[in-house]
Amino acid sequence: MDQIQIGKFIAESRKARSLTQRQLADSLGISDKTVSKWETGKGLPEVSLMLPLCGELQITVNDLLSGERVSSTNYQKKAEENMMELMKENEENKRRMVLSVICGGITIVAVCALIAIAAYMPLPTAARIALIVFALAVAAAGVGAACMLDVKAGYFECPNCHASFVPTMAEYVKGVHTITKRRLTCPECGKTAMCRHRIVR
């Protein structure tokens, strides 16, 4: 999917309906920055906004994802291509999410085993300390890898303006979180809120 092409097409379709970015944004209940982001190819509309957006622009989702008005002769072919691409992206994100969980699990087991050895095996003090230091290093590496995979899996959605975004690693790590939400600052509206983690846009 060509984000630049899709962005140009959104801009064209919006102008054809003589709407400003602001008017389009207002009718979708989002910020005009989000519309501008789409039109400059810096992001795709998230799935829940695609139908309302296409309604406003009087285009189909197939047109939107193709970045042009699709002729009726290759409509089905284009639709299938677009569907496959969306599914592929979804799958990659799911795989990263699963890897992240496995990575976290292995880390916990490894660290517990190392600490148990350090605590219960008859070892010289220096070896005990070395084992604990090693356990801490494994913990740090494992948590780091799990976070890296998780942050790349999908997007976070702002509850205020419904923008979807990928946070920086630093922001991600310091954000207070639950299983599905994380406290982040939205790059679109600047508000800090509990943002939902989504696999697909």
Residues that bind Zn ion (CB under 5 A): 158, 160-161, 163, 186, 188-189
> What is the nearest approach in angstroms of Zn ion to the Cβ of residue 91?
27
Least gap, CB of 11 to Zn ion (angstroms): 22
Q: How far is the CB of 9 from Zn ion (least distance, A)?
A: 24
The least distance separating Zn ion from the CB of residue 45, rounded to whole angstroms, comes to 14
Taking the CA atoms of 39, 45, 51 and 56 in sequence, report the sign of the dihedral they define: negative
CB nearer to Zn ion: pick between 8 and 177: 177
Q: Of 63 and 157, which CB lies nearer to Zn ion in the complex structure?
A: 157
Q: Among residues 123 and 194, whose Cβ is nearest to Zn ion?
A: 194
Q: Of 11 and 186, which CB lies nearer to Zn ion in the complex structure?
A: 186
